[in-house]
Every structure is written in structure tokens, then in C-alpha cells.
Structure 1
Amino acid sequence: MRKWIKLLFVMAMVFSLILAGCQSKESSSGGGSKDGVVTLKFMGWEASPLETESVKKGIAKFEEVNPNIKVEYTPVPGDQYASKLLTMMAGDAAPDVFFLGASDYRSFQERGVLLDLTQYFENELDIDDFIPSSGGIMSIDGSIYGVSSCTVSPVLYYNKDLFDQAGISYPPSNPDEAWTWDEFTKAAAQLTVKDGDKVTQFGTYGFETFANTIAGILENEGSVFNDDFTATTINSPQTKEVLEAILTVKQNGYSPEAKLLEESGMSASQMLQTGKIGMLIDGSWALQQLAQMDFPVGVAALPKFDVASTTGQAHLHSASANTKHPEEAWEFIKFLSSEEYQTDLISSGLWMPNRTSLYTEEGIEKWFNADVHPEEFKELVPYFQNAAVDPFAINKLNQIDDIMIEELDKFWYDGQPAEDILANIERRVNEEFAK
């Protein structure tokens, strides 16, 4: 009897050692935990070194108040980011938490690769805490698979020195007083300077960039998709009017070709700083860089065709459906959408807030930075808060972006008529929807 008891005891000891070894091996695998500390792998794209630095500062704050969670951040180039992420997911090597472009969010969700955050979100947050564009992007049939990071929108930047030299009043920041398209083109003409036949200073640049063109179409009471996103409605008189108005600015020599910027070796922001262009249509995120370029930059509402508006969107933070640490992933995602995390990034000029609380008078004082935001910037705040949802953040077929850009390039650079281009877009896009 004693022998059997001894044998059972030895077997129990061996089994417990094997089990302990297995547990140790499991916990030390990628994204695991050690000594009670969970490591989350976090991936995002690097839009600029300034953005990466800001994100890393935020991570340090999170780790400070969550000593049980360590975050390993990997910034990667923005080109092909979505396809790289899908490849990692297919190889069971996805990060626990990651940036996800708004235009990719719904297509990823349909693939079943995103952790459903609905229960976590509803327990601690409220969709009404977010501005309408951010809330509209996050919610997919009432469920949440990613939490908005912030919001960004196309705006009008201008070089105040060039306006002063030309004796032109600054464009209004108050959306209710936004320039008409005619007022904008008149200023662009006055800001265009020639030396003989050569243009040495262009009035404006950037409206033909796809996102900015879309904003113009919406301003002209046009649309890109029908209400249920099953067909495109871009082939309309409103769109044709916008395209031809932008093209006229280019044909009149008020705006440089994109290849001129490439040949100059300067970015659009540098062109604005050095006085090569007077006005720049760009995303609100550009203010972070512009504010460090030591020249008097102004920010205004886009010139309006019919109504003064802009579009709002930004990346979301999502978690892999296969993460081994859903609770910790949620804690990190929640932090990435918090006032605490956003405030520094907004103060630097990179983002605008997605929380309604940061649009109150008291909330604005938390992030407004006089060293970054021009004095007239506060007038522009309602522009971001009330921005229309970028339609490409709701559309599930992200290959449609490529079709539209490809066709529009034929309009901008090959001289093909607007009606032909819009008909081609309508045919090709609706073929995609019909598949």
C-alpha cells in the first residue's frame, strides 16, 4: 500500500512539473506575460517622426499608470500598411492593438479579424461622448470594433506675409463667413506672381488632392455614394461643377502641378513657408509641422461652393480578434481615446479632439496652444466638431478609392472631359458594388 502511495506521489510531482513547464512556455510566447506583466504589441504607421515621438510619450504615460502592462510599439511606413497588417494576421503574427485607417475599418471587420469591443465600450463609454463624425465611423450596425483616435479635416492654410504684401484680407476662419469660390479664386490670382512667362509664386495648391476634392463635392451639395452605400452618386452636375472649377484654377496658372513640387525637392508645407505658394489646402494634421517652420501661418475654413463644411475622419485603434489579452488591449485602447492621451497631440497641432467635452469653452483651454494654433483658430473649432463623415470611412470596398483616383488623374493630367471621367467612375464603381 505504501508503495502505491509513494508511486502516486511521484507521479503527481512529475505531472505538476510538466504542467508548470507548459504554463511557463505558454506565458513566455509572443505577447505573453512575465512576472505578472503583460506585454502588448502595438503597431501604427509613421506619418512623421513628430507623430511617432508623440505616440511614444503617450505610451510612457499609459505604462506609468498601468505598471502591469508593457507596450511594445512598432511604427511602420504608411505605404501598404493595411496589406502588411492583413499578412501578419494571416500568419497568426498580428499585433495585439493597432492603428486602423478609417477607410479600412469596415472591410477588416467583415473579415472577422477585429476583436468585438462593444461590451467593453458600453460598460465604460458612451457613443454620445464623441462628436458625430467620430461616432458615425466607429459604430457598425450598433457594434464597436475600433475606437476613434481623434479627428482630422481638410482646411485652408495661408502665408500671412504674402497676404500682407499683396494687400489682401485674410480668409475667414469662422465657417459662417467662409469665402465663396469666386473670392478664393480672386485671391489666388492676386497671389500669383510671374517673372516673364515663369510663375515664381503660385496662389494656391492642394484642392485636386482626392480627399480635398471630395470635401469640395460635399460643399456643393453633391454626394459620392447613395444612402446604403450600394452605388456611387458621384456622376452629377454638382461634382462636374467642382471638378471644372478646380481645373480652371490650375489652367489659369494659379496652382502648380504636383510634379513641380517633386522636382523642387520641397513638400507643400515648405512651399508655403518659403513663399512659393500663398494658400495650401491640406489636412489639419499639417499644423504640427507648419507651426515649427518659423513663419506666420494662418488657418481658415475651406472656400465654399454652396455650404461651408469639411469632412472628418481619422484612424481608429482596434485589437486583433486573436489577442491573448483582450482585457489589457481594451485598457490600452480606452487610454488611446482618452482626453489625457489626446490633449498633448492636439496641443502640438497634429490632431483635433473627438470628444465633445473638449469642444466646450473649458475643454478648449485644455489643448489650445498659442505657440502652435494661430489666434484665429478658435473660430474654426465648430468646423471640426460639425464636420460631415468622410464617405470613404463608411464605404466597405476600399478598392473604390483607387478607381476614383485613377480616373480623376485622367481629368487632372490627361485633359479628358469631366463628363467622360464621371461616367467611367460610375460604371467601374457600380461594377464593384455588384460583385
Structure 2
Amino acid sequence: MKIERLTKTLSFWVFLLLLIVTLTSCGFRNSPEGITITLSGWQSNPNEKQLLEQVLHQFEVQHPHIKVKHETINDQYMDVIKTRLIGDAAPDVFYLDAFEAPLLMKYGVLEPLNPYIDAQFDLTDFEPTLLKAFQLEERTYGLPKDFSTLALFYNKQAFQEVGINQAPQTWDELRDDSKKLTVDKNRDGRKEQYGFGVAPELSRQYFIMTAFGGRLIDRQENAAFFTSGSLKGLQLVIEQYRKDQSSAQPSDVGASTGSEMFGQGKAAMVLEGTWAIPYLQETFPKLEFATAEVPTVNGKKGTMAYTVAYVMNKKAKHKEAAWQLIAYLTSKEGMKAWAKEGLALPTRKSVLAELGFVDNPLYAPFAKGADYATIWQSGETLPTILTHFNNQFISALIGEQSLRDALRKAQRSANEEIQSAR
């Protein structure tokens, strides 16, 4: 009996031990140990990837159970992301431009972040207009990581040479200053220096249209920019280019960007984002330049704002870990480490102030612009509208057709494509 009882006791303990081992092993399999989160984005500057890698390293130090696999996609980024979303192979966390956000939010491929956000995270610290770009029907689908507005860059030496003492405050002043700053023609027929460098793209002209009540879409998200307001705003750009002959596109002077033509001295003024500051300082170190808020148009302050958010894939396997990554990258700590180089501005108001951008003469105009900027976003049909607008507007700019005809054609062709896709 004693042997039988001993055998049963040993069997019980062996069974209990096996059960504990089994449960423990299952626990290890389901624990955060060894979790890998994929993060995809693009690289607009060589320093950008290096800065992000440093931030990701700090995240892994603080979260040793999570590893981050960082992927840079510079070619056809959104096409790659959309293809992977369709094929259930998208990254757990990825960059999303406000321009593309409406489409992905509408079709439910993003994880709503509301259940993960608590009071300690403090959403009120984000610039409201930037956060709103990633919200739909009271759900937050992304947290903006950084942003830039447009500001006026001007060549201080060029201003001094023609006796201009301050940056223009209104668009009329900008046109007058542009005429003074435009230098006579060279032997090849081109001007040595234009007063203003213009980027004839919808993403740069939208705020001028809104200053006169213009818009891009109607309630059904059809193209609706052929209005008197849009015509009034854009006519200012056309007249300066064709009538005044005091502005030029980058391609007119052999440059690829507004920043480049400004740095080369081909334009005394341009509207550019914060990304131009480190570029100009590194590429044209002898250039003396300053920045100012965009001159008012039709008596109204205006500029454009471009922002990108971290979003979570709806089908992410480790959503809690993915949220921890997003939360860290957009926390005060993570954002300070990311934004300190000035490639773009932090979206948290506290970080913007702490890093000194609001008091820095070069960056202050960009920070101020966040209060009244037009976000580069306007429904899911905007990519289609953009293509048709740009094609026709450039044609009007160089005099191939009137602005009225150009906008009418652009709106009609855009809506034909939009309707055919529905």
C-alpha cells in the first residue's frame, strides 16, 4: 500500500511538473519575447535615416522584448504599400502622408488608435490641424510625426543691392519687389536673376486659391476647382510670370528645385519648406539668406502645411507592440531626438518650443504658419485631381492657353477619370 501510494504521489508530481513546463512554454511562446515589428518609410535626406536609427535603438533599449525591422522605400512608396496591403504583406507600422490618408482611412486598412491612447499620452499637445488630418468620424488613425509649412526665403545681399529693407508683407509688395530684384537678360536671352522662383504645382498654389474662396472638391469628392475664386488667385501667379516677367520656374534656369535655383542666385525669393534650410546651409555656405512668413494674399494670411503620420496596419500581428513603437516615436522623448536637426518641425507644441524653433529667426515663420496653414489634403480623389491640374496649369503658365480654359479642361478630365473609377 505504501509503495502504491508513493507511486501515485510521484505520478501526481510528475504530471504537475509536466503541466507547469507545458504552461510555461506556452507562456513563453505567447509572451513578448522575440517579437519583431516592421517599420517602413522613406528617406528624403541622408541624415534622416541615421537619426531614425538612433531613435529606434533607444526604443529597443527601453523595450528589450521588441525588435524593430526598419525598411526604407524610396521608389514608388505608396504603390508598394498599397500593393502589400492588398496582399496582406504590409508592415506593422508605416509612414502615411496626409495627402494619401483619406483613401486608407475610408477603406479600413488602418487600425484605429483610440483604444490605445490614454490620458497620459496627451493628444492636446499636438498641433490640432495636423492631428485632424489623420482623423475620420471621431477615430484617430495616425499620429503626425513632423511637419513643414512654406515660408518666404529671401537673399539678403540681393535685397541690399536694390535698397529693399524688409521682406514683403503682402503679395502686391512681393510682385513689386520681384520687379526690382529681376536683373537684365544675359546673352542667351535669360535673365541673370529673377525676383521670384515659382513652383507651378497644385501642392504649392492651393492656399492662394483658398484666399479668394477657391476649393478643390465638392461634397461628392468631384473636382470643383473651376471657380471665380480659384481663377482670381491663380491669375496672380500667371501675371507675375507672363506680364511682369519677374518670376521663373526652376526648369527655366536649369535647376531642379526652388531651393537649388535660390541657392544658385537665379531667384532672389522662393517659397520653400524647412527642408531647404539645412540644404542651403550645406550646399551654399556663403549664401546669406533669411526667412519670413508668406506674404498675405487678398488680405489673408496663408501657407501650405505638409505632414506625415505613423499609422498601424489593421492586420498587424502584434498590435500592442506596434502601438508601443508609435507611442515612443511620437512621445516628447522620441520626437525631440528626431526633430533636433531641423529637417522638419515636431508636431508636439511643447517640443516645438523646447527645441527653440519658435524663437529661431529661420524657423519661427514656419512654426507661426501652423496656426493658419492649409493642409495638403482634400479627399481620396486628390491624387487624380493633382495630375490633371498640374498638366493644364503649366500649359497656361507658359502661354499655351488661357487660365480659364486650362482650369475648365483640367476639371472636366479629372472628373471623367473619377467617374470611370467608381
TM-score (norm 2): 0.84
Give the direction of change, closer, same or farther, for the CA distance of 1:238–1:428 in structure 2 (3 Å limit).
same
Give the direction of change, closer, same or farther, for the CA distance of 1:309–1:48 in structure 2 (3 Å limit).
same
Q: Deviations over 1:131-170 (max 9, x none)?
A: 2211221211101221111222122112212212222123
Alpha-carbon offset, residue 181 of structure 1 = 1.6
Q: Does structure 1 retain, via aligned residues, the 8 Å contact 2:197–2:248?
A: yes
Write out aligned runs for 1:203-218 (5 A).
Answer: 203-218=195-210
Question: How many residue pairs get matched?
Answer: 404
Could you say what secondary structure the match of 2:345 adopts? Answer: coil
Q: Deviations over 1:288-337 (max 9, x none)?
A: 32233423221112222211111323111111112111011111111222
Of the three residues 43, 48, 51, the one matched with 2:45 is 48
Q: What is the distance in 2 between the residues matched to 1:395 and 1:387?
A: 20
Give the direction of change, closer, same or farther, for the CA distance of 1:246–1:201 in structure 2 (3 Å limit).
same
The answer to whether 1:382 aligns with 2:368 is yes
Tell me the residue number matched to 2:342: 349
Tell me the residue number matched to 1:249: 240
Write out aligned runs for 1:295-374 (5 A).
Answer: 295-306=287-298, 307-358=300-351, 364-368=353-357, 373=360
Give the direction of change, closer, same or farther, for the CA distance of 1:380–1:397 in structure 2 (3 Å limit).
closer
The answer to whether 1:233 aligns with 2:219 is no
Which structure has greater helix proportion?
1
Q: Does structure 2 retain, via aligned residues, the 8 Å contact 1:136–1:389?
A: no
Q: Does structure 1 retain, via aligned residues, the 8 Å contact 2:133–2:377?
A: no
Tell me the residue number matched to 1:176: none
Q: What is the distance in 1 between the residues matched to 2:89 and 2:167?
A: 49
Could you say what secondary structure the match of 2:401 adopts? Answer: coil
Of the three residues 155, 159, 183, the one matched with 2:155 is 159
Q: What is the distance in 1 between the residues matched to 2:411 and 2:87?
A: 36
Give the direction of change, closer, same or farther, for the CA distance of 1:380–1:311 in structure 2 (3 Å limit).
closer
Q: CA RMSD in A?
A: 3.3
Could you say what secondary structure the match of 2:393 adopts? Answer: helix
Gaps of 5+ in 1: 173-178
Tell me the residue number matched to 2:175: 185
Alpha-carbon offset, residue 124 of structure 1 = 4.6
Give the direction of change, closer, same or farther, for the CA distance of 1:273–1:119 in structure 2 (3 Å limit).
same
Alpha-carbon offset, residue 183 of structure 1 = 0.7
Write out aligned runs for 1:25-424 (5 A).
Answer: 36-77=33-74, 79-122=75-118, 124-171=120-167, 179-194=169-184, 195=186, 197-226=189-218, 228=219, 230-251=221-242, 252-261=244-253, 263-264=254-255, 267-292=257-282, 293-294=284-285, 295-306=287-298, 307-358=300-351, 364-368=353-357, 373=360, 375=361, 377-378=363-364, 381-392=367-378, 394-395=379-380, 398-413=383-398, 415-424=400-409
Write out aligned runs for 1:419-434 (5 A).
Answer: 419-431=404-416, 434=419
Q: Deviations over 1:345-376 (max 9, x none)?
A: 44322222322334xxxx52434398xx4x36
Bigger mean CA offset, 79-88 vs 377-386: 377-386
Gaps of 5+ in 2: 1-6
Could you say what secondary structure the match of 1:309 adopts? Answer: coil
TM-score (norm 1): 0.81
Tell me the residue number matched to 2:3: none
Q: Tell me which amino acid in the other structure corresponds to 1:302.
A: V
Q: What is the distance in 2 between the residues matched to 1:378 and 1:59?
A: 28
The higher radius of gyration belongs to 2
Q: Does structure 2 retain, via aligned residues, the 8 Å contact 1:207–1:246?
A: no
Give the direction of change, closer, same or farther, for the CA distance of 1:344–1:126 in structure 2 (3 Å limit).
closer
Give the direction of change, closer, same or farther, for the CA distance of 1:297–1:55 in structure 2 (3 Å limit).
farther
Q: Does structure 2 retain, via aligned residues, the 8 Å contact 1:225–1:233?
A: yes
Q: Deviations over 1:261-289 (max 9, x none)?
A: 5x45x643232223221111122332232
Q: What is the distance in 2 between the residues matched to 1:369 and 1:220?
A: 29
Q: Tell me which amino acid in the other structure corresponds to 2:386.
A: D
Tell me the residue number matched to 1:175: none
Q: Does structure 2 retain, via aligned residues, the 8 Å contact 1:133–1:312?
A: no
Give the direction of change, closer, same or farther, for the CA distance of 1:301–1:89 in structure 2 (3 Å limit).
same
Q: Tell me which amino acid in the other structure corresponds to 2:48.
A: E
Q: Deviations over 1:196-243 (max 9, x none)?
A: 5431112111342321111211233322234x4533431122211222
Alpha-carbon offset, residue 395 of structure 1 = 4.2
Q: What is the distance in 1 between the residues matched to 2:141 and 2:354?
A: 31
Q: What is the distance in 1 between the residues matched to 2:277 and 2:196?
A: 17
Q: Deviations over 1:117-140 (max 9, x none)?
A: 121125554543322211221211
Q: Tell me which amino acid in the other structure corresponds to 2:53.
A: K
